[in-house]
Amino acid sequence: MVVGDVTTGTDLLIIGAGPAGYVAAIRAGQLDLDVTLVEKDAYGGTCLNYGCIPSKALITATDIAHEAGNAEEMGIHADPAIDLAGMVEWKDGVVDQLTSGVEKLCKANQVTLLEGTATFADEHTVRVSHSGEGQGSETLEFENAIVATGSRPIEIPNFEYGDEPVLNSKQALALDAVPDSMVIVGAGYIGMELAGVFAKLGTDVTVIEMLDSILPGYDDDLKRPVKQRANDLGIEFEFGYTASEWHDRDDGDGIQVLAEPAADDSDDERLELDAEKVLVAVGRQPVSDTLALEEAGIETDDRGIIETDSRGRTSAEHIFAAGDVAGEPMLAHKGSMEGKVAAEVIAGEPSAIDHQAMPAVVFTDPEIATVGMTESEAEDDGFETIVGTFPFRASGRALTTGDTDGFVKIVAEESDGYVLGASIVGPEASELIAELGLAVELGATVEDVASTVHAHPTLSESVMEAAENALGHAIHTLNR
């Protein structure tokens, strides 16, 4: 159908159907707002189509194969064969199920779905151009809007995506054959998660990182077990280097990635690494430059992040921003929370954004999960703290899973015991952190956590034991 230049109206326009935009749309629908959700690519955004879900599907699948092949200690002798095409087909099925669910939920909540690319024409109007030849465009007037256009991978000079064999995370998650070797540029969470996936598939992985350790921003004690497990998997690291260029090898067998020492005064030699593919994972940047934001009076910072207040409002009173485009941390659940708040504020409710109990998870092997403040952040903020820890090697349940690396750490206020934050590295850290997020959110004390009966034998007992340790009466470890 060719769409002519018609003008329609909506109370609330939402641009982008990722976890920020579609969640905002459903919440706004629940609040009886007249909502139009514009999406140019795929419902569910980066998270469902190219990020969280496909990466976690492949992490789980490769973990299963790896664990089955390394369980001699449990009396299991197996040598699993991996059919990557089959694995990718299964992963795509998971994605399809979720994205079609998003579409159905939006429709069931009376959200009008519009496929196309939106750009602002003025403070109350967008143009939506439809993809495909002859599909035309339409004009949409709105009372309020939420910009939820997400982020895209940052490109570095000389490594253009789409220039096979240079891959971004989206392309790496869609490969249909296992590369023999891969250089990964960047040891942040996406680089480290995918390093684990490919190493478990049998790829020789080398990670180049300009800083001197993996996972910048995380405490050393959390990173240690992850680095150790990566070493055990045979992942090589080159710290203090920046990737500068790549070229085909003279013998036609793959490519060579060149990397220079990151420090100007370094005497180290330039690196020349042979590989079949190079995956660039050096961070993500907001998608704000393609929206003609200036037409609507929306301001961004130097990085292109749309600045918002505690209700999600941009510099234009009636326009809100949520998700990656509104800044760090660029995580799906943070975007969904901001989307819900924006929808509720537009509907007249007194909602506000609170990042205090925002969890963050790295799905490496083992997983890292944090919420609230670390010990040093709490001390920098002037809190007198008590700290409780519990190592998984003392957990009966962890021993029965064969996965005992890591620990739970809880930080609380010394005077009244309020839980200020927690960090976990180890099995199921991503699930265990929820209890501690609830503790921070509710203003619970370590006493509350310690006196909550936890089922035995479970990994969650480790949370209770860490709280008991903070109080000096842990049962299964010596108290400090």
Ligand X SMILES: Cc1cc2nc3c(=O)[nH]c(=O)nc-3n(C[C@H](O)[C@H](O)[C@H](O)COP(=O)(O)OP(=O)(O)OC[C@H]3O[C@@H](n4cnc5c(N)ncnc54)[C@H](O)[C@@H]3O)c2cc1C
Q: Site for ligand X (CB under 6 A): which residue of 10, 16, 99, 312?
A: 16
Q: Is there binding between residue 364 and ligand X (CB under 6 A)?
A: no
Amino acid identity, position 438: L
Outline where 322-361 has alpha helix (H): 332-346
Give the residue with the Cβ less far from ligand X, 38 or 449.
38
Q: Is there binding between residue 62 and ligand X (CB under 6 A)?
A: no
> d(Cα 298, Cα 38) in Å, to the nearest integer?
18
Q: Is there binding between residue 241 and ligand X (CB under 6 A)?
A: no
456 catalytic residue (yes or no): yes
Give the residue with the Cβ less far from ligand X, 150 or 406.
150
Q: Site for ligand X (CB under 6 A): which residue of 120, 363, 390, 407?
A: 363
Respond yes or no on whether the N-terminal peptide bond of residue 359 is cis (omega within 30° of 0): no
Q: Is there binding between residue 20 and ligand X (CB under 6 A)?
A: yes
Q: Site for ligand X (CB under 6 A): which residue of 275, 287, 408, 425?
A: 287
Smallest gap, in angstroms, from Cβ of residue 387 to ligand X? 27
Smallest gap, in angstroms, from Cβ of residue 125 to ligand X? 14
Cα Rg of the chain, angstroms: 24
Q: Is there binding between residue 359 and ligand X (CB under 6 A)?
A: no
Q: Is there binding between residue 47 and ligand X (CB under 6 A)?
A: yes
Q: Site for ligand X (CB under 6 A): which residue of 99, 117, 395, 469?
A: 117
Q: How many CA atoms lie within 13 A of 140 on its CB side?
A: 30
Smallest gap, in angstroms, from Cβ of residue 15 to ligand X? 5
Q: Render 364-425 in DSSP notation, one character per residue.
A: SSSEEEEEE--HHHHHHTT--EEEEEEEGGG-HHHHHHT----EEEEEEETTT-BEEEEEEE
Q: Is there binding between residue 120 and ligand X (CB under 6 A)?
A: no
Task: Point out which residues pair with 238 in neighbouring strands.
Answer: 208
Contact 206, 238 (CB under 8 A): yes
Q: Is there binding between residue 59 and ligand X (CB under 6 A)?
A: no
Q: Site for ligand X (CB under 6 A): which residue of 59, 87, 106, 118?
A: 118
Q: Is there binding between residue 331 and ligand X (CB under 6 A)?
A: yes
Cα separations in angstroms, 134 against 1, 2, 116, 130, 401 = 9, 6, 13, 9, 58
Distance between terminal CA atoms of the chain? 71
- Each residue 184-203 as x (binds ligand X by CB under 6 A) or -, in order, gives ------x-------------
What are the b/e assignments for 373-388, b being 16+ CB within 10 Å? bbbeebeeeebebbbb
Q: Which of 247, 318, 456, 476 is catalytic?
A: 456
Q: Site for ligand X (CB under 6 A): which residue of 91, 227, 333, 340?
A: 333
Q: Is there binding between residue 314 and ligand X (CB under 6 A)?
A: no
Q: Which two tokens stand for residue 372?
A: 């609230």
Pairing of strands 385-391, 407-413: antiparallel
Q: Is there binding between residue 55 and ligand X (CB under 6 A)?
A: yes
Q: Site for ligand X (CB under 6 A): which residue of 3, 9, 34, 41?
A: 41
Respond yes or no on whether the N-terminal peptide bond of residue 165 is cis (omega within 30° of 0): yes
Give the residue with the Cβ less far from ligand X, 230 or 325.
325
Which residues, other chains included, contact 194 with Cβ-Cβ below 8 Å and sequence gap of 6+? 55, 169, 172, 173, 184, 279, 281
Give the footprint of ligand X on residues 141-180 (CB under 6 A). 148-151, 169
Q: Is there binding between residue 140 and ligand X (CB under 6 A)?
A: no
Catalytic residues: 456
**Site for ligand X, rule CB under 6 A:** 15-21, 38-41, 45-47, 51-52, 55, 117-118, 148-151, 169, 190, 287, 290-291, 323-325, 330-333, 335, 363
